[in-house]
Structure 1
Amino acid sequence: MSRMEHHIHTAAPVEINRRSAARRQSGRRRGLRWLGAACVLLLLVGLAAYAFHRPLLRGFASALTVDDAVAPADFLYVLGGDVNTRPFHAAALFRRGFAPRVVVPRTEDRPASEGGFYPIDAEVVVRILQHQGVPGSAIAMLRISGGVTSTQDEGRVLREYLQTHPAQRVIVVTSAYHTRRARWTLRRELEGLPVDLRMASAPDDRFDASNWWTREAGFLAYVSEMLKFVHTLLRG
């Protein structure tokens, strides 16, 4: 092998190594640029989220809320649950003349209530309604075996009641964060019936759409409701 041939053979691997190193270095630079861009993007997103978190969180609460009970109805339907807000709001609507009667689904029997140690929620609701000025003659409790255990059950009971007590419009009273899911569920259960459902969101003096994330009770209520709504939609 001549000296020239030897030089060519030894120079080629060196040149290849240089090109490979250059490509690796260029790849690292591109990777660092992408990483830097991603960090800047995350920083901007974080700053935007911090700057606009209040409007976003208020918007989230508003998306769960429906409050369209602006006209009189045949009766008020008080969903089971928060006895510290729903029956009081229903009584206020009754006193303002929104409906001549209040219908309450009987809630689930519990060991404490079956033993006579504690009344079921529906009985507490009736007592509050009467205490707030709704006469007993204007209150109807829908009784079913075992009581209702979900919003879906409350829709089924309401459907049975409407088949024997037809109504053009019903005002459903429930917590603000529960109104949209409740309307979606009840409409499915009442499909085919000519009834106009309107929602009345019961206010809670502990939190509202403007500050729910700053109160433990509000945070738990809204986040839990979101998960329940997702589960309801997935279940179909």
Structure 2
Amino acid sequence: MQSRIITDISKYIFVDDELQKVDAIFLPGGSHPEQPEYAALLYREGYAKWIIPSSGVSVKRDKWPGVRSKAEIYDGDYHSDCEFFTDVLLKNGVPASAVIGENKSGHTRDNAFLSRVVIDEKGLEVKTAMIVCKAFHARRCLMLYQMAFPDVSFIVRPVHCYNITKDNWYTTEEGIDRVLGELTRCGNQFVVDIKNYLK
């Protein structure tokens, strides 16, 4: 039986909403193809009109880290998360006209706010949106995208890229580090934008 603290952290971090049709799917940066593969599936099934992959190179590194899984399928000379995600989307049946990339950001906050810049520049009307992200990244993504798009109604659809789930994160050192790290970053990054968000 889980203690209440584990249960409460799990409920907070691992957002998982019911699937529904939206105007756009946002893809915060990453190097696992499972994220854009799932987004492509949802696009093909008619769940969204546009997909917005995001991110250049992480601020933690000076170059793109490479494909984390299925490198035998996705073997391009990628230089950014956005470039990689775009290739995965195209290879999985998403037309180029539906992909609107953002390739300058280096962390999650900028994934959200620079995606807003791209959407505004394109003149797209987005009233509803979905975030497809790593499962343990869900709360922070939702928080930051909601701040960047305060008038948009969001849902989150998580992808399990690291085998870190709501049910097992507290059983491994890596899971604990990642989830508690997310908890800390949610607080730190919320402080940066809360005053603007509440205006």
RMSD: 2.7
C-alpha distance 132-160 of structure 1, shift in aligned 2 (>3 A): same
Structure 1: 5+ residue stretches without partners = 1-50
1:121 aligned to which of 75, 81, 84 = 81
Query: 1:213-233 CA distances to partner (integer Å, 9 max, x unpaired)?
Result: 223432222121111112123
Matched, 1:72 2:29: no
Structure 2: 5+ residue stretches without partners = 65-75, 194-199
User: Within 5 A, what are the aligned runs for 1:1-236?
Assistant: 52-53=2-3, 56-108=5-57, 111-112=62-63, 119-143=79-103, 147-163=104-120, 164-191=123-150, 194-204=151-161, 206-236=163-193
1:19 equivalent in structure 2: none
In structure 2, C-alpha distance between the alignment counterparts of 1:220 and 1:74, rounded to whole Å: 34
CA shift for structure 1 position 201: 1.5
CA shift for structure 1 position 165: 0.9
Query: 1:48-71 CA distances to partner (integer Å, 9 max, x unpaired)?
Result: xxx543x64243222112222522
* Mapped contact 2:57–2:63 kept (Cα < 8 A): no
Question: What's the TM-score once normalised by structure 2's chain length?
Answer: 0.75
Q: Greater helix percent: which structure?
A: 1
Identity %: 22
In structure 1, C-alpha distance between the alignment counterparts of 2:96 and 2:18, rounded to whole Å: 23
Structure 2 residue matching 1:149: 3-state secondary structure:
coil
Residue type of the alignment partner of 2:114: V
In structure 1, C-alpha distance between the alignment counterparts of 2:157 and 2:171, rounded to whole Å: 24
